[in-house]
Amino acid sequence: MTETTLRRHLTQSTPDPNLIFLLEDIASACRAIANLVRNGAFEGNLGSADVMNIQGETQKTLDILANDEFERICSNSPRLAALVSEEVEAVTWLKEPKAGDYLLYFDPLDGSSNLDVNLSVGSIFAIMQVQTDGDRNVLHEGRRQVCAGYALYGPSTMFVLTDGAEVTGFTCHNGTGDFRLTHPNMKVPSETSEFAINTSRYRYWDTPIRRYVDECVAGKEGVRQRPFNMRWTASMVAEIHRILTRGGVFLYPADSKNRSAGGKLRLMYEANPMAMIIQQAGGVASTGYGPIMDIEPKGPHQRVPVILGSRAEVERLIEYHKT
């Protein structure tokens, strides 16, 4: 059987060679980050770098190294105009923007609190395009994403990508280092009995979120009349990958503790790309009050409430937000 590598897939599915170069560069950065993560303990890279990022969070050494890999490898892409990274406050301009150039938004290492305990982490990215020569605005709504994806550094390293048509999953072969097509046309099952939320924040939640979780927890004896399961990995990438594989709903809502910041997760390089992936796979992505990808960003590091996953559950949550 002929293996379909990421390169072969991109050659067949992506008309613009410059977008292929960029996606291959992103995949190379993710492969390099997978090695950094795997060898972190040998190289003294686990633990904190004792530096605050612009989110006011203490950066891990690997957060910084992962950001360096994205910058080092992707900066060579001929039509990449700018980088927007979770770890860098300002937009990094690589060239004078021309119509058709690409803008890359990324979280180089998502879920980095999992590093010290050897659990899954990932990288997330989104790509948009400059529409007119000289336009230095990078604050576009998620509908304008041309591609989005993530790498999952778990028991195996995976690269999952959507170009606005299908969602396709590749697994890194441990011998050759190739990303090989293993998960064609990924779909989120529409019905599910699994939810993911950090329940330690229960006391801060708004009524619609409490109602939804209370009803799930009530199981067979409650209004849902069936048992629900709960998972929380503290890595959005791992969470979304599970939902793409067996369904479920992921929630990081705004609550009374984080509302002044807008929520927890960042719009441009966490919520928007995951929203695009989930919607292309048949799921729904909402703040509870409207589609995530309709939000007009006010800043590159803006935070938003996030509810995404199986259609029936997210639609139920949207209904609960109307009352």
* Options 72-80, 99-107, 167-175, 237-245: segment touching Mg ion (CB under 5 A): 99-107
Burial 209-218 (b: 16+ CB within 10 A, else e): bebbbebbee
CA-CA distance, 145 to 294, in Å (whole number)? 11
Q: Which is nearer to ligand AHM, 111 or 208 (CB)?
A: 111
CA-CA distance, 85 to 103, in Å (whole number)? 11
Rule CB under 5 A: choose which of 25, 87, 110, 194 binds Mg ion: 110
Q: Give the tokens for residue 222.
A: 């409650």
47: left (phi over 0), alpha (psi -120 to 50) or beta: left
The phi, psi pair for 195, rounded to 5°, reads: -130, 155
Q: Which is nearer to ligand AHM, 218 or 234 (CB)?
A: 234
Rule CB under 6 A: choose which of 57, 141, 166, 206 binds ligand AHM: 57
Query: Scanning residues 256 to 285, which ones bind ligand AHM (CB under 6 A)?
Result: none
Q: Which listed option, Mg ion, ligand AHM, none, makes contact with residue 54 (CB within 5 to 8 Å by class)? A: none
Ranked by CB distance to ligand AHM, the top (closest) residue is: 236
| Amino acid at residue number 10 | L
**Cβ–Cβ under 8 Å, residues 269 and 105:** yes
Query: Scanning residues 108 to 137, which ones bind ligand AHM (CB under 6 A)?
Result: 110-112
Q: State the binding string over 231-260 for ligand AHM (x if CB under 6 A, else -).
A: ---xxx---------------x--------
Q: Which is nearer to ligand AHM, 102 or 252 (CB)?
A: 252
Rule CB under 5 A: choose which of 107, 163, 239, 313 binds Mg ion: 107
Rounded least distance, CB 202 to ligand AHM, Å? 12
Q: Which listed option, Mg ion, ligand AHM, none, makes contact with residue 198 (CB within 5 to 8 Å by class)? A: ligand AHM
CA-CA distance, 72 to 63, in Å (whole number)? 14
Number of residues that bind Mg ion (CB under 5 A): 2
Q: Which is nearer to Mg ion, 107 or 313 (CB)?
A: 107
Strand ranges inside the chain, DSSP E:
48-52, 58-60, 80-85, 92-93, 102-110, 121-129, 147-153, 157-162, 167-172, 179-183, 194-196, 229-230, 249-252, 265-266, 284-286, 303-304, 306-309
Rounded least distance, CB 158 to ligand AHM, Å? 16
> Which residues sit at the interface with Mg ion, rule CB under 5 A?
107, 110
> Which residues sit at the interface with ligand AHM, rule CB under 6 A?
57, 107, 110-112, 198, 234-236, 252
